[in-house]
């Protein structure tokens, strides 16, 4: 865009022209090609905090509190928007591990336990520190579920128009020119698609043979032993006796394994629909 066009556009919008508008909501408005370089501001921010903490004598309990409630929250907002590469996550974890073990400047400290072990729950011997890479994927999955649950939101409508105009977000593909943000959301979407299960209510929207609704089963959906024709039930609602609020599985008992039958019977039916 020419300088004249830039100035004309700024006059129309009533905003000043600038090469770098800085940050918005804590994130840079301009990103470079290198994801690692783009995320370097997070590493610098965390380093400043840790350096200030090292000026004080802190107990192990004090370090644990600062790591959990301050240090590990530094990358939280950017992680809701972007999938971090492995290297920046490991660098941030290493900085917090160094602080935990009391490292000062360039001195070497013995690491009596790995950071992965310290990330385990306390009842397993760890301290419950976050694995940043796993946390990153989980919060992106949360964002995808929010978009799926609120398809009329402004953000959801924009993404739908650009990336999945003819489907929903859970069935959307990457496309040929996916942005970093969209590619990141797809990583979160995969968690939902692979792990989510339908909760049986009235069963009207759940397809017996396609959807994942068997919570006790590892695969989540039924695997018919024989071909399923049109005379057989296809929706979960057809398997429910509404008078007794119990399962009626006689019409599909010959199509599925005994194990699947038991798994279905373990699903509790709500009584106040």
221 in any annotated domain: yes
Domain span holding position 240: 197-273
Q: Does a structural domain hold residue 2?
A: no
At which of 130, 151, 173 does a domain end? 130
Inside any domain, residue 101: yes
Is the same domain home to 33 and 112?
A: yes
Verify that 163 and 218 share a domain, yes or no.
no
Task: To the nearest 10°, report the CA torsion of 246, 247, 251, 255.
Answer: -170
Same domain, 47 and 109: yes
d(CA 43, CA 131): 16
How many domains does the chain contain in total? 3
pLDDT of residue 83: 92
Question: Going along the chain, which residue ranges are E strands?
Answer: 23-24, 27-28, 240-241, 246-247
Count, in order, helices (H) and strands (E) of the chain: 11, 4
β partners of residue 235: 207
Tens digit of each residue's pLDDT, the chain (273 residues): 677 888 888 888 888 877 766 676 777 766 767 777 788 888 898 988 888 887 677 888 888 899 999 999 899 888 998 999 999 999 999 989 988 887 766 666 778 888 888 889 888 888 889 899 999 999 999 999 999 989 999 999 999 999 999 888 988 888 778 888 899 999 999 888 888 888 888 888 888 888 888 876 666 777 777 788 888 888 888 888 888 888 888 888 888 888 888 888 888 887 565
Full DSSP string of 41-83: HHHHHHHHHHHHHTTS---HHHHHHHHHHTGGGTTHHHHTT--
Task: Answer whether 93's CB lies under 8 Å from 115's CB.
Answer: yes
Residue 68 inside a domain? The answer is: yes
CA torsion, ordered 253, 256, 260, 262, to nearest 10 deg:
20
State whether 94 and 191 are in the same domain: no
Give domain status of residue 3, yes or no.
no
């Amino acid at each position: 865009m020419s300088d004249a066009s830039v100035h004309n556009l700024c006059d129309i919008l009533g905003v000043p022209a600038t090469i770098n508008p800085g940050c918005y909501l804590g994130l840079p408005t301009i990103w470079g090609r290198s994801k690692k370089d783009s995320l370097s501001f997070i590493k610098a921010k965390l380093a400043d905090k840790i350096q200030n903490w090292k000026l004080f004598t802190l107990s192990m309990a004090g370090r644990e509190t600062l790591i959990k409630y301050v240090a590990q929250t530094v990358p939280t907002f950017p992680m809701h928007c972007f999938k971090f590469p492995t290297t920046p996550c490991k660098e941030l974890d290493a900085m917090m591990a160094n602080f935990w073990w009391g490292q000062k400047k360039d001195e070497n400290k013995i690491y009596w336990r790995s950071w992965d072990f310290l990330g385990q729950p306390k009842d397993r011997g760890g301290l419950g520190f976050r694995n940043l890479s796993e946390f990153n994927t989980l919060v992106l999955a949360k964002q995808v579920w929010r978009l799926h649950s609120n398809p009329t939101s402004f953000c959801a409508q924009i993404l739908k128009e650009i990336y999945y105009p003819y489907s929903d977000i859970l069935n959307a593909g990457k496309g040929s020119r996916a942005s970093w943000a969209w590619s990141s959301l797809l990583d979160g979407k995969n968690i939902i698609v692979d792990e989510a299960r339908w909760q049986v209510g009235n069963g009207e929207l759940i397809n017996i043979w396609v959807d994942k609704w068997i919570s006790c089963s590892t695969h989540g959906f039924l695997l018919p032993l024989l071909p399923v024709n049109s005379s057989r039930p296809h929706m979960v609602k057809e398997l429910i006796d509404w008078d007794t609020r119990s399962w009626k599985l006689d019409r599909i008992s010959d199509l599925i394994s005994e194990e699947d039958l038991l798994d279905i019977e373990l699903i509790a039916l709500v009584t106040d629909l």
